[in-house]
Amino acid sequence: MHVLYTIQGPLSETARESFDKLSFDFVENLTLPQALTVYQAVSWFDFHTKGKGQLREFQLRSTLKTLAGENVVIRAGTGYGKTMTMILPLLLNTQPSKIALTISPMKLLQKNHVEEFNQIGIPSIQTNEDTPDDSELWKKIVQGHYKNIFIAPEQLFRLKGGHVPRLASLMATHYSFLESIGFIFIDEAHFIVLSGFPQQGEKDAFRPVYSRLGEILPLLRENPPIVILSATLPPPILHTVLETLHLDPSMTTMLMESINRPNHTYAVRQLYGGIKNLKNYDFLVPVEPHAELPPKTVVFIDNRLSAGRIACYLCWRISDSLKSSKIVSHLHSAMSQDYITRVFAEFKSSDAIRVLISTSVASNGIDVSNIERVVCIGAPQNIEQLMQEWGRGGRNPTIETICLAVVEPWVLQDDNTKKPTNKEKRTPESVIECMRLKTCRREFLRARNADNAPNASKYSVSYCCNNHDNGFKLESFFPGPFLYAEPVKPKKNAMRTLDNRPKSQREPLRQRIEVWKTQARPKSTLTQMWPSNYLPSKEEINRIILANPQRFTLLSDLVSFLQETADWAQLFGSELFNILKNYDAEVAADIAMKKQAKKTAPRAQKKIKQEASDPTLEATTPSLPPSAAYQHNMSSFSLKDEPWTHDLTGIDTPGPSTLSMQLPTSSQTHYPSLQFEDPLVSTMRTPSTRKRRSNNTSQSTAPQKQSRTHQD
């Protein structure tokens, strides 16, 4: 019998059973000090869980290797106890002056870990740009008061603006602090590859400092052990992580546990009408009167605006008996840390929030044990992100969990008739392959992660995935109906809609919409429940003011133009539509008034103004040719005096063929009296060459002037 079984001490039956589950090879190779360490770990955990928990073998192996100063890689499924591999070495460490530096990707994850470590009795703190510049606080950090410091990798490097984070400065100037670092934990280590290097279709890395972590490790004086933790370390990612950190695989202990979650059921279905079509999400909440609370659900989507819209839509749609301001909530990384913390606390510990719509801020390391539904909207960036999001569900192994991906049509089938979008270009082939699978999805995940554990393909629930013909029905997992067809597109109006609104009308309309936008939400409690991003964005306002005014004859035209919903039309659409119609009515009235004024204005006055403003008009305005009767009679007499001809071109005797070109312009106001030798002309009435203008006798034609003078 090994010495481990002979150590006497108060242990519960559950703890003693955990010894029996340890492998023979592990127990037989334990030295006496190692056996004592294992016993201490089991005893402490038994006390911590009040006799209800058992440590797993990989946790004990990792603790022994870490305390021995060896580097360790730990791959285990989400909720499988990776955090305990950081806790045990700090509790059982025989050098109390040593502290740990834990690199964690997200503030929320850091905060949760800090709370967990402090509750256990390990003083911990997170440092970032929000950490106060308190000399007493930083003095405690330097002196090693906090045994675990949680940081983001950016805290170790000079920032783009030249600013050096306080912790990086501390490590560069206080050698005693640098020497006190005895452990390096890298949590969610897959970020080294997925965020530290450019992904498919991307020019730059999202967080390039992750790829530089290998520069920091050689600077640590005591050569502390490095513990790498992740639930998603397929062989290519693991190789890149070790290469980036300059770790020799042969000198690193690999603890590769199965990533299979037996209580998960996997499924994939199509989005209809795009992510903005809110009818896609009706299945998430019940609508029947007196319906039961929906199962605890988390929905992941990579767009902040869409997260808010979906949450507001579901709050409006849910059964009246369940309506509350919190039952469907949303969050993203741009929200305040206080709000994010409060929402997660309520989601984790109460039934006030049953459906949480979130961006990737909640996809890594968040421990909520009773999530029954995990829904991922849109094609994931990579398989590892999908596994992290699905891993949020069913952390309690007794809870049956459905993991659903709702993806765009192009993910499930090729469409060569359309130009691929940027997202299509960025999506890896592995994601396309996973979504289009006709075989077992669990087996695909096992093979991708090189999971060769005996239980890697086993499941403990009714269904493995939706690709087995065993009566699987997705509707049985969710309280609402699913959408199964593309939405009917509204018929195009017969009116022209290609022309834009005139430029002079755009800016005044924009100002009216902006004023309404600032006043719309505070009007009532109902409108205040909707986030400000539910109102038209800047881009949508630009589209509205550019569109032809005739396009919005009905409220439904505006709703379909913005691709909004009926509830949006009721709350905000009517007011916005009235603004457009009132403005267009004012513009139409103004245009009509100007047209009427133009009709009633004297034409002569307009002509005078034109001539006065253009001095060249006199020389360029052509005259009308004389009538045929006038030219015929002009052939029977000759001019006695020629002042007319001298006023024109200098031709002495104009004949009938050139007379039409020599007529005076309308701007000439005086002609001398002409004397004719032929008496027949005295009784002749010469026809006018053009109609009289409005009471302005000075602008009569020359022949009319001649006729009246001769008659007098």
349-359 pLDDT, tens digit per residue, is 888 999 999 98
CA–CA distance from 345 to each of 334, 338, 342, 356 (Å)? 18, 11, 5, 12
Question: What mean pLDDT comes out for the span 54-79?
Answer: 95
The mean pLDDT of the chain is 83
Q: Do domains 61-256 and 264-477 have the same CATH topology?
A: yes
Per-residue model confidence (pLDDT) at position 708:
45
Per-residue model confidence (pLDDT) at position 616:
53
Q: What is the dihedral of CA 107, 112, 117, 121, to 10 degrees?
A: 120
What is the band of 661 on the pLDDT scale with cuts at 50, 70, 90?
very low
Residue matched to tokens 């100007």: 594
- Among 123, 172, 178, CA closest to 149: 123
Question: What mean pLDDT comes out for the span 41-58?
Answer: 95
Residue 375 has pLDDT above 90, yes or no: yes
Question: What mean pLDDT comes out for the span 277-299?
Answer: 93
What is the spatial distance between Cα 147 and Cα 141, in angstroms, rounded to a whole number?
9
Q: What is the phi-psi region of residue 563: left when phi exceeds 0, alpha when psi lies from -120 to 50, beta otherwise?
A: left
CATH top class, domain 264-477 = alpha beta
CA–CA distance from 679 to each of 114, 637, 683 (Å)? 124, 10, 8
- Among 224, 223, 185, CA closest to 102: 185
Higher pLDDT, 77 or 677: 77
Per-residue model confidence (pLDDT) at position 466:
95
Residue matched to tokens 């006729």: 707
What is the spatial distance between Cα 255 and Cα 258, in angstroms, rounded to a whole number?
10
What is the spatial distance between Cα 394 and Cα 370, in angstroms, rounded to a whole number?
6
pLDDT tens digit sequence for 245-265: 999 999 999 999 999 999 999
What is the spatial distance between Cα 616 and Cα 619, in angstroms, rounded to a whole number?
6
> Is the Cβ–Cβ distance between 509 and 556 less than 8 Å?
no
What is the spatial distance between Cα 404 and Cα 394, in angstroms, rounded to a whole number?
13
CA–CA distance from 171 to each of 141, 221, 547 (Å)? 11, 11, 59
- Among 405, 380, 393, 372, CA closest to 476: 372
What is the band of 531 on the pLDDT scale with cuts at 50, 70, 90?
low
What is the band of 214 on the pLDDT scale with cuts at 50, 70, 90?
very high
> Is the Cβ–Cβ distance between 388 and 187 less than 8 Å?
no
Residue 59 has pLDDT above 90, yes or no: yes
Supply the CATH classification number for the domain 61-256: 3.40.50.300
Per-residue model confidence (pLDDT) at position 233:
94
What are the tokens at 429?
A: 């082939």
> How far from chain centre, in Å, is Cα 590?
41
What is the spatial distance between Cα 670 and Cα 650, in angstroms, rounded to a whole number?
18
What is the spatial distance between Cα 678 and Cα 326, in angstroms, rounded to a whole number?
109
What is the spatial distance between Cα 296 and Cα 392, in angstroms, rounded to a whole number?
11
What is the band of 671 on the pLDDT scale with cuts at 50, 70, 90?
very low
Q: Under DSSP, is residue 405 helix (H, G, I), strand (E, B) or coil? A: strand
Q: Which of 263-272, 425-434, 589-598, 647-656 has the lowest mean pLDDT?
A: 647-656
> Where exactly are the structural domains of the chain?
1-55, 61-256, 264-477, 503-600, 622-711
